[in-house]
Amino acid sequence: MTRTQYWIVTLLGLLSLALLVANFTLLRGNRGLQRDIAARQQFVQQSVQLEGLYREIIRALAELAARNNDADVRALLGKHGITYTVNPPAAAPAPAPASAGSPPRR
């Protein structure tokens, strides 16, 4: 083997070693990212499952705050971007006026 061939083989060996280290580093980084993504996916899936419960809790809090005119609960909901309006109670329909001439019964 000539001196030039020796240095070419040595450089190729060092390049291979450097690529191996880079591959190992990238592999570890990717595995860490995959774990993070899996954890986030699990959080999103669990959040979707609990969405109905969260809506019911918010609805109950809003109804409670409206019924008791509770400013603290209203402020708590408002702090999280949840607002509501209180509808006035529907007025009871007025009784129909009695007519003077009612039709005879049969």
Rounded mean pLDDT for each run of 10 residues along the chain, 106 residues in total: 94 97 97 96 92 91 89 91 80 61 57
pTM of the model: 0.46
Report how far residue 19's alpha carbon sits from residue 24's, in angstroms, rounded to the nearest whole number.
9
Work out the number of other CB atoms within 10 angstroms of the CB of residue 76.
13
Contact criterion met (CB below 8 Å) for 81 and 90 = no
Q: What angle do CA 30, 31, 36 make, to 5 degrees?
A: 95
